[in-house]
Amino acid sequence: MGDPMVRRLLAAGHAVTAWNRTHAKAEALAAAGARPVSDLGEAVRDAQIVISMLEAGPTVNLVLQAALPLLAPNALWIDMSSTQQAEAQAFHTLLTAQGRRFIDAPVSGGVGGAAAGTLAIMAGGSAEDFAEAEAVFAPMGRATRVGPAGAGQVAKLCNQLIVGATINIVAEAMLLAQAAGADPAAMRAAIRGGFAESKILEVHGQRMLDRNFVAGGKITTQLKDQRNILAAAEAAGIVLPLTELVTARYMTLAKQIPQADHSAALIGLEQMNPGQRVGAAPDQLD
């Protein structure tokens, strides 16, 4: 995700210093105009805006703790990773205590959306900091401030709640069509444009028909998000019974095919229904 996001920033005329824990990934951006550096301190020193895009909250914390002593006064750290709400709030507290600022701004849209500059960006932070960040967000997608620090992660979790559940529902529709004698591809075409239309039906419905489960979004990543959703629900004092069921499905899949795309929920459903299978193509898993 970070690679196409940097390319969008560069194309819009922003100067970008790129750092990655795997330096070769930063070096790959040099031809596009980025300044790759191998030292984290060199990357953040004197920067007024720092953007992090990392795998999970604990990794963000490690990088942030290492960079904090070197950050410019009043620097704005924008974390576009997907973390827990409590983690984002802790980052905000840590940075503000040291005279810096923080926005959590997770995204939805995948690598394709990052390359096209059409990401949905959900930002949590002050109105003043968001206004400053808008020029940076604009090349990457559509940014919306959804509340104070931590609120961006809540909005992302709501997004992932809908994504995770809808993938499973689309898989059930595909299998029902197949088992009950309808053509799953024709069923999908027939209902598109109606109330059941969604990006999930469009993208992951086609993946299921093609049996293309090469990871775009991994099952393990979706499971991480599901667990974060339930943690946020517990903190908010509510119960989400459907999300608990979806999480259990992804827990089972993570034990069997952890690196597959989350649309492989169809495979798990077929395993629960021996003898039933959507389409005749072989499974593509890697």
Give the span between the Cα atoms of 208 and 223, in whole angstroms. 19
Q: Which of 25, 156, 218, 224 is catalytic?
A: 156
Instruction: For residue 79, give the nearest of 39, 13, 129, 22 by alpha carbon.
Output: 129
Give the span between the Cα atoms of 140 and 264, in whole angstroms. 28
Strand 101-104 and strand 49-52: the pairing is unpaired
Let me know if 156 is a catalytic residue: yes
Instruction: For residue 101, give the nearest of 62, 132, 139, 80 by alpha carbon.
Output: 132
Amino acid at residue number 27 = E
H/E run at residue 72: none
What does 132-181 look like in DSSP terms, one character per residue? HHHHHHTTTEEEEEEESTTHHHHHHHHHHHHHHHHHHHHHHHHHHHHHTT
Instruction: For residue 167, give the nearest of 133, 206, 136, 112 by alpha carbon.
Output: 206
DSSP structure class, residue 251: H
- Extended strands (E) in 76-147: 76-79, 101-104, 107-108, 119-124, 141-147
Question: Phi, psi (5° rounding) for residue 119?
Answer: -65, 145
Question: Phi, psi (5° rounding) for residue 101?
Answer: -125, 165
Question: CA–CA distance from 170 to each of 59, 223, 249, 257, 266 (Å)?
Answer: 33, 18, 14, 19, 8
Give the span between the Cα atoms of 149 and 1, in whole angstroms. 22
Active site members: 156
